[in-house]
Amino acid sequence: MSEPKSTTVEVRLPSKMGFEKVAMSTAASVAKLMGFRDDRIEDLKTAIAEACINAIEHGNRLNEKLSVGVVLSAGPDQLEVKVIDDGKGMKTQPAKPDIDRKMHGEEDPRGMGMFLIQALVDEAEWVAGGDGKSSYVRLMIRLDKVVD
Amino acid sequence: MQSETKSRVDQLTSPAGHAVTVLRFEGDIASTSKDAVLGAYQTLPKATAKLILLDFTKVDYINSSGIALVIQLLIEASNSGQKVYAFGLSAHFTKVFTMVGITKYAQLFPSQTEALAAL
């Protein structure tokens, strides 16, 4: 029995803010070719942007000598994205942001990125590389079947 | 790589006769947008600018750092007794603003006309 085929697209970004938009547009093009709805493409773009920003800012600490890898694997009914950096990964997941605590100065106004990623894609997991020198976030978004 | 954020201020009057200060943004709203977002807000006179309307019509990209700037603006406005409203967000960013809870502190409207009619 043959495995379902997947098509892979890879992009390498410099660790410089703003280049997450290259990953966004690449992912949007792949998702469009796969037949994703426009609203799901917007969800994917924001999730990938936030994953790349985390990789640039926290994983690679804005070191422009390091790059962020973005691997898009298009399967028959889902798109998997890995965003890879040279950081050690996270030991703990940040708490879900609370707008009331932010408004009352009890919580940093920042810190929405991981929440947005988890809320906008079907699966998200953060994986620390075994060597302690790299980590990645894996996102997965499913292609909804159009019901006639 | 990120497009520069521009902002400008307009003074309008709502159909009900209230003075409304409109803060119009253009470009990306990201970590580099502090001056255009918070800086522009901080130039407004707190004593007279009591109703503030944020115009996102010409904004294509807002990331979590940009959302944090909007929240900082809302915190400062709340502390100054100002009310903030917004219009012109795409369907996607309307969803994102709702998800992060901004809509608890800034009501969103589809257009300037609808926003002004409600003020």
Q: Strand, coil or helix: what is A126? A: strand
Q: Is the pLDDT of residue B50 over 90?
A: yes
**pLDDT value at residue A92:** 76
CA–CA separation, B74 and B10 (whole Å): 19
A108 contacts in chain B (CB < 8 Å): 68
Q: Is the pLDDT of residue A145 over 60?
A: no
Q: What single DSSP character describes residue B45? A: -
| Interface touch B75/A99, C-beta < 8 Å | no
Residue A88 to residues A11, A40, A91, B11, B101, Cα–Cα distance (Å): 21, 30, 9, 50, 31
A109 contacts in chain B (CB < 8 Å): 68-69, 71-72, 75
Q: Is the pLDDT of residue A1 over 60?
A: no
**pLDDT value at residue B18:** 97
Q: Which of B33, B64, B71, B92 to mutate to test the interface with A (most CBs of A within 10 A)?
A: B64
The count of CB pairs under 8 A between chains A and B is 73
Angle at CA of residue B42, ends B4 and B3, nearest 5°: 5
**Looking at CA atoms only, how far is residue A66 from chain B in angstroms?**
17
**pLDDT value at residue A3:** 60
Q: Give the pLDDT band (50/70/90) at residue A2.
A: low
Beta-carbon count within 10 A of A37 CB = 13
Quote the pTM value.
0.93
Summarised one tens digit per residue, pLDDT across range A52-108 is 999 999 999 999 999 999 999 999 999 999 999 999 887 777 788 999 999 999 999
Our CA dihedral for A139, A58, B92, A94, rounded to 10 degrees, sits at 80
Structure tokens at A127: 């994986």
**pLDDT value at residue A131:** 75
Across the interface, of A99, A110, A111, the residue whose CB is closest to B104 is A99
Across the interface, of A17, A103, A105, the residue whose CB is closest to B105 is A103
Average per-residue pLDDT for chain B? 96
Average per-residue pLDDT for chain A? 91
